């Protein structure tokens, strides 16, 4: 009897999710985004029918999309990370310090990415080793990383205007094809890489299994803790990269870098169809969700609505997204 039950659990866990289970939520949630975009087209047609506003999206949205996309992997495993804005700042501070002290661009660049990755791995290690909810752990490490960065930099910023930095600046944030900012192309590249990892590798399959049913994943031999640590490390790497992009965009590192990007990133993940319960989500959905969030920012201002209502719209979008996830999830299970 128990043998039959075990085999049934394994078979259910091994069965790949159906098309509607994987993408049903996204169709519902994306429809909300399209509906809102149509509203903005009608209420601010002059702005939303001009290419300039979309070029602006391509410049500003990647600053949080580059973190929202890897955050998707963490949420799929059933965890959350609230410390990535602080990781973003600490990693970029590492670049600023090393470059200021040595004048070596690439040593500073690589060191920043390593610091970001290690911070992310540290988060994952704390979560898995002590079994403490990631929400609590990453609130704590957010204060820790931010405090280290502020103390190290003495609360001061660093200008990134040297001629030696022009090559890196053009590579990261220069304008290339059709006047589109390079950070947009970096965001697409990040989406493609993480899509491949999530959908075409064993690690990606383990990410879904971990979030869908941790017990079944362990029965199938998945090292759940290692999977979670790796997703946090990936998050740290991309937070560091996003910090470098953001700083080079304005040719300046400021000590409060990353503040104000947390909610945009989280909203993008849930708006893109990733389940708050774990086990379901796509990076392509998050990519689209990021640009919907960017459109809301611009659309409210362009429509003549008081900018203070932006957070009201974000709150409604997140609540509506989570409700739709719950409703569609119940229908799929039927």
Per residue in 88-107, pLDDT tens?
999 999 999 999 999 999 99
- What pTM value is reported for the model? 0.89
3-state SS assignment for residue 159: strand
Give whole-number Cα distances, 50 to 30, 149, 268, 298, in Å.
22, 40, 24, 13
Residue ranges of the chain with per-residue pLDDT less than 70: 1-30, 328-329, 331-334
Give me the helix-helix angle, 224-250 and 202-212, nearest 10°. Answer: 110
Give whole-number Cα distances, 13 to 24, 130, 211, 213, 225, in Å.
19, 26, 11, 8, 18
Q: Give rounded-to-5 percent helix, strand, coil for the chain.
A: 80, 0, 20
The C-alpha angle 238, 199, 61, rounded to 5 degrees, equals 35
What's the pLDDT at 298? 78
What's the pLDDT at 28? 65
Distance separating alpha carbons of residues 218 and 236, to the nearest angstrom: 25
What's the pLDDT at 176? 86
Is CATH 1.10.3470 what the domain over 21-333 is classified as, yes or no? yes
Buried b (16+ CB within 10 A) or exposed e, 145-174: bbeebbeebeeeebebeeeebeebbeebbe
> What residues form DSSP beta bridges with 158?
253
Per residue in 232-242, pLDDT tens?
999 999 999 99
17 backbone dihedrals φ, ψ, rounded to 5° = -60, 145
Distance separating alpha carbons of residues 285 and 67, to the nearest angstrom: 14
Distance separating alpha carbons of residues 242 and 89, to the nearest angstrom: 10
Q: Can you give the three-state secondary structure of 60-71, one letter per residue?
A: HCHHHHHHHHHH
* Spatial contact of 269 and 289, defined as CB atoms under 8 Å apart: yes
* Domain ranges for the chain: 21-333
Q: Calculate the CA dihedral of residues 181, 296, 327, 75 and round it to 10 degrees.
A: 40
């Amino acid at each position: 009897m128990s043998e039959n039950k075990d085999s049934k659990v394994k078979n259910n866990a091994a069965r790949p999710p159906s098309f509607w289970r994987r993408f049903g939520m996204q169709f519902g949630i994306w429809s909300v985004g399209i509906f809102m975009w149509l509203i903005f087209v009608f209420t601010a047609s002059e702005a939303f029918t001009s290419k300039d506003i979309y070029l602006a999206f391509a410049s500003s949205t990647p600053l949080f999309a580059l973190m929202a996309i890897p955050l998707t992997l963490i949420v799929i495993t059933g965890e959350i990370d609230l410390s990535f804005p602080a990781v973003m700042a600490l990693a970029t501070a590492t670049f600023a310090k090393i470059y200021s002290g040595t004048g070596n661009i690439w040593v500073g660049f690589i060191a920043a990415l390593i610091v970001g990755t290690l911070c992310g791995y540290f988060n994952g290690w704390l979560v898995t080793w002590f079994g403490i909810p990631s929400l609590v752990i990453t609130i704590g490490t957010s204060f820790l990383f931010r405090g280290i960065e502020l103390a190290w930099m003495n609360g001061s910023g660093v200008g990134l205007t040297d001629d030696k930095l022009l090559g890196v600046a053009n590579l990261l944030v220069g304008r290339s094809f059709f006047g589109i900012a390079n950070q947009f192309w970096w965001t697409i590249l990040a989406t493609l890489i993480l899509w491949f990892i999530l959908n075409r590798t064993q690690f990606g399959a383990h990410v879904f299994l971990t979030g869908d049913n941790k017990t079944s994943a362990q029965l199938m031999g998945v090292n759940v803790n290692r999977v979670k640590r790796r997703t946090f490390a990936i998050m740290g790497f991309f937070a560091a990269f996003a910090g470098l992009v953001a700083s080079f965009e304005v040719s300046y590192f400021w000590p409060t870098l990353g503040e104000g990007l947390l909610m945009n990133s989280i909203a993008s993940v849930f708006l893109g169809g990733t389940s708050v319960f774990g086990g379901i989500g796509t990076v392509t959905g998050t990519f689209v969700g990021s640009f919907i969030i960017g459109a809301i920012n611009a659309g409210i201002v362009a429509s003549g609505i008081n900018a203070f209502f932006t957070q009201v719209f974000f709150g409604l979008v997140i609540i509506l997204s989570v409700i739709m996830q719950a409703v569609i999830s119940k229908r799929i299970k039927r």
